[in-house]
A and B are shown apart, each in its own frame.
Chain A
């Protein structure tokens, strides 16, 4: 028991912290593990000078460009189709609801790699494509690796983005639709001015996540001859057999792209956080 006279004396004592033994211990273990892995890679059969040598060769840099281009285009296609699907899913009419539901079910249910292969081999199903008023084309000429990858990745992405936006739209209070209606807004204007800006701020973090995923997902397009960074790295190592070195080069560029993008997402989040309680 502490008497109050005793407690008064304690009042003058300086305060110390608790020593975090578990943190110190786990820190030591983690450091040792890191050192071991770095050592393993340093003495392993990796010729690091090849990594440096190939990091900036034109073919790799062109691959990086193609990767980013595909990620941006596929994401853009996914956003447009995804938002339309989300609106369809939330429609009061049954037809758009069913169509959107079926789309999401189909494209989420089939592996992306399979979708890429189907688009690339579309000519096997439809040898010719006729665009009314434009002309008739051989599907093999039309479905270049770029277009196949764009459709495969973008339309698959749309299914996920549709779900993200559906949640975003549903997170906006019903009273916001009513207030917008009450000042005479049409549905479209209410959507554009009131609902969308509020939905958008809740969907930025998951969208950023999807975009990062998309950058890595573009590597699958190497399988259908789209010349992105992994495809070009492979082309080089088929010739010089420096497999691991070139995979590290490709890995470096994916990591760089993702690292640069994360702060951009933060900026976007800040921009759309207007009016969030401060």
Chain B
């Protein structure tokens, strides 16, 4: 069996007295596209942020691309890695945020080039042509010199995807990438995500877009109360959900969609 792209065991995380993750375990093989569904407070975003090392789990382990994240073994104990090492590990995955978080003082092109040039210290000329190619692939080469404030939400999110892809990560993490968008832009962003999925990158997508999940995902996770309640291939998940809680969730979301 091939090494999984993401391997998670027994992940626990709480904010204050409030447990958000209560023992998450997961294997994602390379190239798989996984959508994570669940109500608010189910822990789906926190799990993603732990993988991106924007949160530190209290217990449990994550291995990504053969590296134990955030921790290392020393004298028979697990100790935190250095800040420098963690910064390096964060590049293993590209992260796309709900609110885009583009750098407002840089143009679209500069946003995409920032990581490869400043962090990876690659030559600017070479990165520039790659970055323009990336912007073309998200349909925004004509916006390369625009600042984020001059772009629509959907355009900003596509630049953000290009920025994450610029570091050539093996894994892409999406945290509700279309939740902050107007309905017209959602389609453009989902189309870009579809083409990323087709390129063979491992994807973990926290989303509320059921039709996207149904069409693109290989596998669906349903989270509830800080655990993965249901984990099934896409067709089985939508066709024959096992858990009552999943059925209730699907009924609520699909019912809401049809009345809207």
Contact = CB atoms under 8 A, between A and B. Distances in A.
Given A194-B103, A198-B104, A185 B147 contact: no
Interface size class of A (residues with CB under 8 A): 20 to 34
B128 to A, nearest CB: 17
Contacts, number: 77
B149 A276 contact: yes
Contacts of A186: 83-84, 87
A178 B95 CA distance: 9
Given A274-B147, A277-B149, A278-B150, A182 B103 contact: no
A198 B97 contact: no
Nearest to B103: A194
Interface in B107-155: 107, 114-115, 118-120, 147-150
B149 A184 contact: no
Interface in B131-190: 147-150, 160, 163-164, 167
Nearest to B163: A183
Interface in A22-41: none
Interface in A262-278: 274-278
Nearest to B110: A275
Given A274-B147, A275-B149, A276-B149, A183 B105 contact: no
Contacts of A181: 53-54, 87, 90
B150 A277 contact: yes
Interface in B77-91: 83-84, 87-88, 90-91
A185 B119 contact: yes
A182 B54 contact: yes
A178 B97 contact: yes
Interface residues of B, number: 33
B119 A179 contact: no
Contact of B105 (A178, A182, A274): A274
Given A175-B99, A179-B101, A185-B87, A193 B114 contact: yes
B102 interface: yes
A47 interface: no
B119 A184 contact: yes
A193 B99 CA distance: 20
A187 interface: yes
Contacts of B94: 182
A189 interface: yes
Contacts of B148: 275
A183 B102 contact: no
B192 interface: no
Contacts of B120: 184
A145 interface: no
A176 interface: yes
Contacts of A193: 114, 118
A187 B87 CA distance: 9
Interface string B46-61: 0000001110000000
A146 to B, nearest CB: 38
Interface string A144-185: 000000000000000000000000000001011011111111
B196 interface: no
B97 A275 contact: no
B104 A184 contact: no
A189 B94 CA distance: 18
Nearest to A180: B103
Contact of B54 (A173, A178, A201, A276): A178
Given A179-B102, A183-B164, A184-B90, 8 more contacts: A178-B95, A178-B97, A178-B101, A183-B167, A184-B88, A194-B103, A197-B105, A278-B149
15 contacts: A175-B97, A178-B54, A179-B102, A181-B53, A181-B54, A182-B54, A183-B114, A183-B167, A184-B87, A184-B115, A189-B119, A198-B105, A275-B106, A275-B149, A277-B149
Q: In the A-B complex, list the 7 residue pairs whose CB atoms are closest, starting with the nearest.
A: A183-B115, A179-B101, A184-B91, A277-B149, A275-B147, A175-B101, A182-B95
